[in-house]
Amino acid sequence: MREALGNGRVLLDEGFVDGRVVLVEDGKIVDICGMGDARIADAKRVDLAGALLVPGFVDSQVNGGGGVLFNDNPSVETIRTIGAAHRRFGTTSFLPTLISDDLSVLLRAIGAVRDAIAGGVPGVAGVHLEGPFLSEAKKGTHDPTKFRDLDRDAVAMLSSLEVGRTLVTLAPEETTPDSIAKLVRSGVVVAAGHTNATYDEIKAAFDHGLTGITHLFNAMSPMTHREPGTVGAALDDERSWCGIIVDGRHVSPVVLKIALRAKRRDRFMLVTDAMPSVGAEQPEFTLQGKRITVKDGICVDENGTISGSAIDMASAVRNTVSMLEVPLEEAVRMGSAYPAEFLGLGHEIGRIAPGYRANLVAMTERVEVKQTWIDGK
C-alpha cells in the first residue's frame, strides 16, 4: 500500500521544507508532493505531528550494540540485535565491524553478513573489516598477535566476498599500492586506519584508490610541522572521506572544527565505532579477553586505552550541532548522504528523493528519534 508521510518538515537537497508529503510505495520514495496532490487520497496517511523527516543515518563502523559484540559471536542473530539497537537512534544502514581477529573468526563474520543480507535482516549494507592488516605502532585496542600481511591470498579472499559493500581498514605502509589497487578494482572500499604511514605513503595509497580515513586523528600518524603524516594527507586530499567520532572525548571539538575548516565538509562523515553498550544498560564488557569499562561516554580497557565508543548516531548528529557549530541539516547529511556517497550507495540511500529507498527518520529538532523506516517498513 502507498503511504503518505505528511505534516512534518522534510529535509530535501535545498534544506528543510514545510508543506510537503513524501509518498512511499514498495519500499521506495515515489515522489515528494504538495498537500493537494490527488495521489494522497488513495494512500495511507502517516501524521508526522510536526516532526522533522530526514534520511536514515548510515554508519560504516559498528562493532556492537544491544549488549552484543560482533567479534564475540559473528552470527546473523548478533547482526540482527546490533541493527535493532542502533535503529532506535536513527541508523537505517550499517556495516557490522570486525576488529583484527583470527582468520577463522573473519571468515565466520563474512559468512554471517552474507546470510544476514540474504535473510533480509534490516539495515545491513555490508561488512567492515577493521584489520588485521594494521600497524603495531598504532594498534590502539587491537591485539597485534592477530595482525597479518595483506598477501596474495588475502587480496584474493577480500576481492570475492559478495556481501554488499566491503570496507577494509588497513595500514598502507604495511602493504603495497598495487595490492590496494587490486582491492579497489574488485569493488572493495579501502580506508587507512591504525597506521603510522608518512604523508607520501598515504598520498601514494590515495593515488591507487584508497578513499577513506578511519576515525580521523585516532590511531594514526599525526600532523607535525615537518611531517604532515596521515592526518595532514587526509586533510590535504580532496578525494578522501574522513570518518569522525564526535563524542567530545575521542577528539577535541576544537580540533574537529579546525579540520572542518581545512577541507570540504561533504568529505566528513559521522561514525560511532559503537560497542555493546549502545542500546543496552551495560557498563562493561569483554573484548578479546580484556575487560572494557564504559566511563564518561567512552569505552576504555584496564590501561585506559580507548576501545571504541558508547555513542549512537543520533547523539553524534546532536553533538555535531552543539560541539562543532554545524547547522542541523548539514549535520544530518554528515550522518546520511556523505557516508552513503563514501560507500558508493549515494544513488539509493542518504537522501529523500524520488527513486531512493524509503530509509527515513522522524525526529525532533533536538535529534530525538520518534520513528524509523527501513525500506518503507
pLDDT, tens digit, for every residue of 108-163?
999 999 999 999 999 999 999 999 999 999 999 999 999 999 999 999 999 988 89
pTM of the model as a whole:
0.97
Among left, alpha and beta (phi > 0; psi -120 to 50; other), residue 248 is left
The reply to whether 135 and 207 lie within a common domain is yes
Average pLDDT, the chain: 96
| 16, 33, 38 from 30: Cα distances, Å | 19, 10, 14
- When divided into structural domains, the chain yields a total of 2
Q: How far apart are CA 351 and CA 371, in angstroms?
A: 17
The reply to whether 74 and 207 lie within a common domain is yes
The reply to whether 242 and 290 lie within a common domain is yes
What is the per-residue pLDDT for 297? 77
Domain boundaries, position 195: 56-342
Q: How far apart are CA 325 and CA 104, in angstroms?
A: 44
The answer to the question of residue 185 being in a domain is yes
The reply to whether 70 and 182 lie within a common domain is yes
Which band of pLDDT confidence, cut at 50, 70 and 90, is reported for residue 223? very high
The reply to whether 80 and 134 lie within a common domain is yes
Could you tell me the sign of the dihedral formed by the alpha carbons of 107, 131, 208, 343, in that order?
Answer: positive
Which residues are bridge partners to 371 per DSSP?
362
181-196 mean pLDDT: 97
All 3 cell numbers of residue 146?
A: 592477530
What is the per-residue pLDDT for 245? 98
Could you tell me the sign of the dihedral formed by the alpha carbons of 320, 325, 328, 330, in that order?
Answer: negative
The answer to the question of residue 349 being in a domain is no
The answer to the question of residue 145 being in a domain is yes
What is the per-residue pLDDT for 1? 87
Dmax (CA) for the chain in angstroms is 66
Give the CATH number, domain containing residue 176. 3.20.20.140
The answer to the question of residue 348 being in a domain is no
Which band of pLDDT confidence, cut at 50, 70 and 90, is reported for residue 296? confident
Please answer whether residues 146 and 101 qualify as being in contact, where contact means their C-beta atoms are separated by less than 8 angstroms: yes
The reply to whether 284 and 146 lie within a common domain is yes
Residue numbering of the annotated binding site for substrate: 141, 218-219, 226, 250, 306-308
Beta strand 44-47 with 52-55 is unpaired
The reply to whether 241 and 159 lie within a common domain is yes
Q: How far apart are CA 27 and CA 29, in angstroms?
A: 7
The reply to whether 215 and 316 lie within a common domain is yes
Residue numbering of the annotated binding site: 130, 141, 194, 215, 218-219, 226, 250, 306-308
Q: How far apart are CA 345 and CA 348, in angstroms?
A: 6
Between 178 and 298, the higher pLDDT residue: 178
The answer to the question of residue 347 being in a domain is no
The alpha carbon torsion through 335, 341, 342, 343 (nearest 10 deg) reads 100
Whether the predicted pLDDT of 350 surpasses 80: yes
Catalytic residues: 273
Kindly write down the DSSP assignment for every residue of 116-144, as one continuous string.
Answer: HHHTT-TTB-EEEEE-SS--GGG-TTS-G
What is the per-residue pLDDT for 194? 98
Beta strand 369-373 with 360-363 is antiparallel
Q: Please count the other Cβ atoms lying within 10 Å of the Cβ belonging to residue 281.
A: 7
Give the CATH number, domain containing residue 365. 2.30.40.10
- Which one, of 249, 371, 253, lies nearest residue 299 by Cα? 249
The reply to whether 31 and 99 lie within a common domain is no
What is the per-residue pLDDT for 283? 87
249-254 mean pLDDT: 97
Helix axes 199-207, 177-185, angle to 10 degrees: 30
What is the per-residue pLDDT for 174? 97
The reply to whether 47 and 155 lie within a common domain is no
The answer to the question of residue 352 being in a domain is no
The reply to whether 191 and 142 lie within a common domain is yes
Q: What share of the chain is helix, strand, coil (3-state, %, to 5)?
A: 30, 30, 40
202-210 mean pLDDT: 98
Q: How far apart are CA 14 and CA 329, in angstroms?
A: 9
The answer to the question of residue 25 being in a domain is yes
The reply to whether 89 and 110 lie within a common domain is yes
| 37, 58, 197, 200, 216 from 231: Cα distances, Å | 50, 23, 10, 12, 7
The answer to the question of residue 351 being in a domain is no
Between 243 and 1, the higher pLDDT residue: 243
